[in-house]
Amino acid sequence: MAGVFDYYLLTLSWSPTFCLTHANAQQCSGKGYGFVLHGLWPQYAKGGWPQSCPPLTPLTQQERQKGLGLFPSGKLLEHEWNKHGTCSGLGASGYLKAADKALGAVVVPEALQPSTTPREYSAEQIVQLFRQSNPGMLEGGVTVRCSGPELAEVRVCLTKDLGFGECGKGVRNQCRQGPVRVPPIR
């Protein structure tokens, strides 16, 4: 049911890793993206999340324009609105405003800005870099997901009013042991 959830999961995708397997995607056309908005997902503290909450209303042209300033592609914007945004209870305009505010609340560490040089960190180091750049971010409020040995996403748990919060059950680091590669921009 729309609006019935416990917290948000702000998911930031490391674009260079995505582009390793999706070279023809819109966001991979030499724009030099580092972290991009994958989504702002309503979550349940006990684990899981609502999805595709009725009524499924299409984005207006104005909402689509706003969304294209936040998401790296129209296809991702539409998917995220239909699957996750509809469950925010905010309507499309409110959801996009919340996504924009959430993006603005998280400072990407200097060490993880887009670069033409490949880098390596442990998942724990990536978490610590985010926590150091974001005073008030809780120890259990940020996680890292990998795709094989590469950094795929950083996920930040936010309260319903978009302050830093604690992640719920099932939201944890998902990387194999050892160094996490941070591919360079293309």
Predicted TM-score (pTM) of this structure: 0.95
Tokens found for residue 24? 């023809």
Asked whether residue 1 is domain-assigned, the answer is no
Residue 22 bears catalytic tag: no
63, 84, 150, 153: the catalytic one is 84
How many independent structural domains does the chain possess?
Answer: 1
Asked whether residue 143 is domain-assigned, the answer is yes
Q: What is the reported pLDDT for 128?
A: 98
Question: For residue 163, what are the contacts with CB-CB under 8 A and spacing of at least 6?
Answer: 105, 136
Question: Which 3 state secondary structure label does DSSP give 25?
Answer: coil
pLDDT band at 30 (very low <50, low <70, confident <90, very high): confident
63, 79, 80, 124: the catalytic one is 80
Q: What is the reported pLDDT for 26?
A: 86
Q: What is the reported pLDDT for 2?
A: 82
How much of the chain exceeds pLDDT 90, in percent?
A: 91
Asked whether residue 141 is domain-assigned, the answer is yes
**Residue range of the domain that includes 45:** 7-182
CATH of the domain at 58: 3.90.730.10
Residue 38 bears catalytic tag: yes
pLDDT band at 64 (very low <50, low <70, confident <90, very high): very high
Residue 80 bears catalytic tag: yes
Asked whether residue 24 is domain-assigned, the answer is yes
Asked whether residue 2 is domain-assigned, the answer is no
**Could you give the count of Cα atoms lying within 13 Å of 25 in the half-sphere of its Cβ?**
19
Asked whether residue 81 is domain-assigned, the answer is yes
38, 63, 150, 153: the catalytic one is 38
pLDDT in tens, 89-131: 999 999 999 999 999 999 999 999 999 999 999 999 999 999 9
Asked whether residue 168 is domain-assigned, the answer is yes
pLDDT in tens, 123-154: 999 999 999 999 999 999 999 999 999 999 99
Task: Give the separation between CA 171 and CA 71, rounded to whole angstroms.
Answer: 22
Q: What is the DSSP letter of 15?
A: H
Tokens found for residue 9? 């999961």
Q: What is the DSSP letter of 128?
A: H
